[in-house]
């Protein structure tokens, strides 16, 4: 069934042996929903892990599960921690299928976040920024000076075409589906401030923000190019970055995380993502 359609009544008023039968109540069509993507979609770090999701650290409280439970969607969740665009086409681990294998012409709804692991954009940026910033003690913007231009070039020249390829493949495998590509919740603010949970220099907090913006722009451009709907979950996460206290932040910090997987959405973040995606699909 297509998302947003209402099924027709299977019967009308009938009179049998003098008894008037009321027409059956129209039932909403069952929506076939496939959730794809990386750890932000999988909810890696948010307990509990979904049945069968141990290898991917796939949470039963990720945004896809929240959406499916709220709307009674039939969910197939193949999102997986550490996934990149290549894992749409090839098995990420032994015994797994490519994520695209979950799609077919009967799929009604697809959501995913992807791209942050291509070229190790997230891990490389944060890891190098922490090291060269001497865990927040060094002055200036050493990460910006040494690495930012190269990471931005990687995103524009390598990640963007990979995103286009992946999104086109999703559209081809699920031609009747509504497809939504998410960007990422904000890790740090757009200000040169101290962020003890993400121990880079004050100046390089803005560097990390700028690199994340570069990736978000690439995702948005790829979505527009391929006819996929872009969902901006980042904009609503401003003020809820990893620098904020527990109960406010949507993303856990690198230092002092309240879950096993740092720099990833917590349960509050996954609920926020479900809210934004739900609004985008009209649910």
110 neighbors 179 (Cβ within 8 angstroms): yes
Q: Which of 7, 9, 39, 79 is catalytic?
A: 39
264 is catalytic: yes
60 is catalytic: no
171 neighbors 227 (Cβ within 8 angstroms): yes
Residues with catalytic function: 39, 264
């Amino acid at each position: 069934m297509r998302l947003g359609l209402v099924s027709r009544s299977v019967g009308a008023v009938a009179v049998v042996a003098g008894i008037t039968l009321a027409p059956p109540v129209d039932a909403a069509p069952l929506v076939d929903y496939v959730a794809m993507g990386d750890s932000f979609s999988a909810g890696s770090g948010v307990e509990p892990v979904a049945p069968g999701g141990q290898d991917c650290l796939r949470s039963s409280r990720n945004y896809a599960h929240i959406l499916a439970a709220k709307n009674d969607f039939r969910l197939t969740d193949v999102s997986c921690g550490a996934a990149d665009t290549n894992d749409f086409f090839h098995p990420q681990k032994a015994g797994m299928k490519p994520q695209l294998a979950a799609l077919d012409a009967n799929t009604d709804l697809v959501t995913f976040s992807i791209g942050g692991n291509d070229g190790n954009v997230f891990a490389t940026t944060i890891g190098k920024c922490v090291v060269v910033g001497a865990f927040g003690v060094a002055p200036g913007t050493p990460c910006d000076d040494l690495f930012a231009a190269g990471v931005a070039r990687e995103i524009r020249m390598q990640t963007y075409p990979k995103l286009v390829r992946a999104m086109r493949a999703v559209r081809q495998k699920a031609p009747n589906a509504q497809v939504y590509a998410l960007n990422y919740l904000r890790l740090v603010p757009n200000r040169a401030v101290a962020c003890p949970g993400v121990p880079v220099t004050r100046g390089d907090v803005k560097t990390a923000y700028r690199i994340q913006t570069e990736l978000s722009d690439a995702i948005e451009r790829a979505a527009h190019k391929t006819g996929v709907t872009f969902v901006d979950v980042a904009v609503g996460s401003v003020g809820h970055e990893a620098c904020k206290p527990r109960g406010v932040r949507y993303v856990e910090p690198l230092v002092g995380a309240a879950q096993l997987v740092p720099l990833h959405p917590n349960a509050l973040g996954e609920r926020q993502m479900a809210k934004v995606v739900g609004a985008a699909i009209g649910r």
